[in-house]
Amino acid sequence: MRFLNRFFLLTLLPLSLSTQSELSLAGEWDVAFDTNLDSEAHRWLKNKYPYKMQLPGMKDEAGLGDSLTLKPSLDHEALYQFFAVLAFLAPTDSRPIPSDVADPATFLTDIKTDLTKEWPKNRSITLLFHGHSVPAGYFKTPIVNTLGAYPNQLLKRLKERYPYAVINVLVTAIGGENSEQGAARFQTDVLTHKPDVLFIDYALNDRRIGLEKAKQSWQTMIELAQQAGIKVILLTPSPDLKVDMSEPENELNQHANQIRQLADKYQTGLVDSYKSFDTERQQGDSLSRYMAQDNHPNEAGHLLIVDELVKWF
């Protein structure tokens, strides 16, 4: 009887849910073929798929894959993964994109409210930028264009939006530094300032220490900041002209993907600088137009980053 009760409860739940709502599989679907069984590693559920298919319908009609035969070419494990993913997804026009990255509309709500307050009810808001040479303001080394770099360009943009606000921009970035070094001085150089918002930008130089060490260092900084009640926004890398951004597995994109995963895990803000520059490239623009030297953006490049930063305010 105990077994029957459990079976009844397990079957009753989905049946009761099905009476409340139904999910139609009809419509146009985004499709990709996972021939290597590594969809999770490639974060497929958060990426756009390259093909489209109409349901009801057959893949032959859509011109996808090999012709259908009576003997399926997928083994049992591949078939299991196919149906598991099929059960999770919905048609293109209704499928939500799962993400735990913070929402730009609400992440800094309290801070944005404070930015609108007039004296004597206002207070100083501190934005702190921790990273390497790019937030430090290096253009064509050894020139440091502090006012042209994205921390102060963001300040300029915010002052246009919030004329009553007192905003302090602190830059603790050091040229040539990686996240392991940045994490080592985090308590003394960052937490002591008690910033309202912390921006972390290290991926360009993290190529020298590898993904695993970079991940550990970023996690350390994120966790320490969140424990102190600081809002954290992570930045993916800006370009290096020596890296082929058309190659999906290039080292910069690997670090960018890791940063996106960290933003998901810790529900931080995310400024996807890499995606912004890559979008310009895909639209036919030359990346060199945005660069002061191979690995440092010029003012136009910094403004691309600012366009993403300001969305959080």
- 67-71, 106-110, 279-283: range with lowest mean pLDDT: 67-71
Answer whether residue 3 is part of any domain: no
Answer whether residue 11 is part of any domain: no
pLDDT digits (tens, 9 = 90+) for 56-99: 766 566 665 555 555 545 454 444 444 444 433 434 333 344 45
| 29 in Cβ contact with 62 (< 8 Å) | no
Answer whether residue 8 is part of any domain: no
| 195 in Cβ contact with 222 (< 8 Å) | no
Task: Count CB atoms within 10 A of the CB of residue 219.
Answer: 15
Helix (H, G, I), strand (E, B) or coil at 228: coil
Name the pLDDT band for 100 (thresholds 50, 70, 90).
confident
Domain end, chosen from 55, 75, 98, is at 98
Q: Both 84 and 165 in a single domain?
A: no
- pLDDT confidence of residue 10: 34
State which residues form the domain around 120. Answer: 109-312
Helix axes 150-161, 299-309, angle to 10 degrees: 50
pLDDT digits (tens, 9 = 90+) for 151-206: 999 999 999 999 999 999 999 999 999 999 999 999 999 999 999 999 999 999 99
Structurally, the chain folds into a number of domains equal to: 2
The residue among 190, 185, 214, 184 whose CA lies nearest residue 202 is 214
Q: Both 39 and 92 in a single domain?
A: yes
Bridge pairing between strands 231-235 and 197-201: parallel
What CATH code is carried by the domain that includes residue 130?
A: 3.40.50.1110
Residue 38 to residue 40: CA distance in whole angstroms: 6
Q: Both 165 and 141 in a single domain?
A: yes
Residue 217 to residue 125: CA distance in whole angstroms: 26
Q: Both 240 and 115 in a single domain?
A: yes
Task: Count CB atoms within 10 A of the CB of residue 50.
Answer: 10
Q: Both 301 and 216 in a single domain?
A: yes
Q: Both 279 and 138 in a single domain?
A: yes
Looking at the chain, the whole-number percentage of residues with pLDDT higher than 90 is: 68
Q: Specify the higher pLDDT residue, 175 or 40.
A: 175
Residue that has been written with the tokens 């350390």 in this structure? 220
Q: How far is CA 233 from CA 54, 104, 227, 270, in A?
A: 39, 10, 15, 5
Where helices occur in the chain by DSSP H, the ranges are 2-20, 76-88, 109-116, 133-136, 150-161, 179-184, 186-189, 203-206, 211-227, 251-266, 273-282, 299-309
Q: Is the pLDDT of residue 133 over 90?
A: yes
Looking at the chain, the whole-number percentage of residues with pLDDT higher than 70 is: 70
Answer whether residue 180 is part of any domain: yes
- pLDDT confidence of residue 242: 97
- pLDDT confidence of residue 48: 56
